[in-house]
Amino acid sequence: MESYQVWAEETLAKVRAKMSWVSEKNKDKIPYTTGEDGRYDDRSSGSADWNADDGLNWWTNGFWGGLMWLLYQDTGEERYAEIAKASRRKLERCFTIFNGLHHDVGFMYLPTAGMEYALTGSEEARTIAMHAATLLAGRFNPVGRFIRAWNDNGDNDVRGWAIIDCMMNLSLLYWASENSGDPRFRQIADLHAETALKHFIRPDGSACHIVEFDPETGEMVRSIGGQGYGEGSSWTRGQAWAVCGFANSYSHTKRQEYLDAARRVANYCVANLPESGIVPIDFRQPPDVKWEDSCGACVMASGFLELAKYVPEADGAVYIRAAVKILRAIAETRTDWSESCDAIVQNCSTAYHDPKHHTTMVYADYFFTEALYKLTGKIELIW
Ligand code: GLY
């Protein structure tokens, strides 16, 4: 066993110990973040308003169930499976609300329904994941060859917007083709990935967050800084979504251009990773700004480890080293293992221009745990 695997096992023991009581305490919720009191909120309710995507339709709502499935696989404890199944059953109701649903149905239903089907063979779970894939495919703009992000909210017309994050949702489409034999899902995923490769990945390997297309002609209009510092900057979580997303697309298709894209972005990230291993919100934020994003850091580490599986060993070792550096920095300086906070990973940031920084996010805990399991090679993952 490598020394980083021993370290990952030790850290997973701490994750198991904390999640044992956190899961019990929050078993009836679908949490996103913790409040001032350190307690998890609950996104499992919410109105049926067309734009109510902060309630049950909230895009991160698949990560709680996903985290439970990771722990179930590791521990064999049935209670984790029960919490995961309960959260999947709640998420089914989103299809009837519909208006608040978005491109992030891959994040919502693959770690929940998709994983449940993979582990239990539940036909009910498979049907839910197929519904989600069909919804995602329905967001495809055939002229611009992109999957449309978000929904109009009255002030903002985003009919031509696509975002780098959506690369992660493509796994649901690949999954749907693999599980149904219908190639249309994979075809849409490939067309979107080709567009992302052409318009989001810059020659230096960095990736922009948002690209606006004309939804009628498909022409590119502009790129937008989005959750990063500004236009031309490199929002670190967006870089991480690109690494993971292209690596996952490669794993489903074995198309070399996806692997090359994942490597270009990963090499850019490795070159810009601070010596401390602490990841800023944006690699191009002003040097005097000290805001960080532990969530993007965990996604990036998980992406590096995915990529390491598909490249020659010496190159993979570079990505593994970078991932371990990030994960150790998180585990040693940006985690709360105590009972005063329900979340493990601290210092997450939603967006550079968000007034609030250094909060917790359930998907940081998900990707932190996923990355540790990737280091130990212990369990099945769904992307
Ligand atoms: N927009 C997805 C994220 O915040 O990572």
The residue whose C-alpha atom lies closest to atom 4 belonging to ligand 1 is 350
Res. 320: pLDDT tops 60: yes
Ligand 1 contact via 165 beta carbon (within 6 Å): yes
- Alpha-carbon torsion (98, 381, 363, 231), positive or negative: negative
Query: Does residue 282's CB lie within 6 angstroms of at least one atom of ligand 1?
Result: no
Query: What local confidence, expressed as pLDDT, does residue 365 receive?
Result: 99
State in Å: Cα 164 to ligand 1 middle: 9
Instruction: Ligand 1 pocket test: pick from 53, 59, 300 the residue with the most ligand atoms within 8 Å of its Cβ.
Output: 59
Digit-coded pLDDT (tens) for 149-161: 998 876 678 999 9
Nearest to 239 by CA among 285, 275, 276, 175: 285
Contact 122, 130 (CB under 8 A): no
Residue bearing the bigger pLDDT, 46 or 366:
366
Taking a C-beta distance cutoff of 8 angstroms, is the pair 365, 345 a contact?
yes
Q: Is the pLDDT of residue 200 over 90?
A: yes
Q: How many CB atoms lie within 10 A of CB 154?
A: 8
Query: Which of 237, 243, 299, 362 maximizes ligand 1 atoms within 8 Å of its Cβ, making it the mutation to test the pocket?
Result: 237
Question: Which segment of 54-58, 284-288, 334-338 scores lowest on mean pLDDT?
Answer: 54-58
Sign, Cα dihedral of 307, 311, 313, 318: negative
Please give the pLDDT value at position 239: 98
Render pLDDT for 233-263 as a digit per residue (tens, 0 to 9): 999 999 999 999 999 999 999 999 999 999 9
Q: CA quadruple 230, 236, 241, 244: dihedral positive or negative?
A: positive
State the pLDDT at residue 45.
79
Closest residue by Cα to atom 1, ligand 1, is: 165
Using CB atoms within 10 Å of the CB of residue 310, give its burial: 0 to 12 exposed, 13 to 18 middle, 19+ buried: middle
Nearest CA to ligand 1 atom 5: 237
pLDDT (0 to 100) of residue 96: 86
The model's pTM is: 0.97
What is the pLDDT, as a whole number, of residue 49? 55
Q: For residue 167, how far is its CA from the centre of ligand 1 (angstroms)?
A: 12
237 lines ligand 1 (CB under 6 A): yes
Name the average pLDDT for the chain: 96
Average pLDDT over every residue of 20-24: 98
Query: What does the pLDDT average to over 53-60?
Result: 85
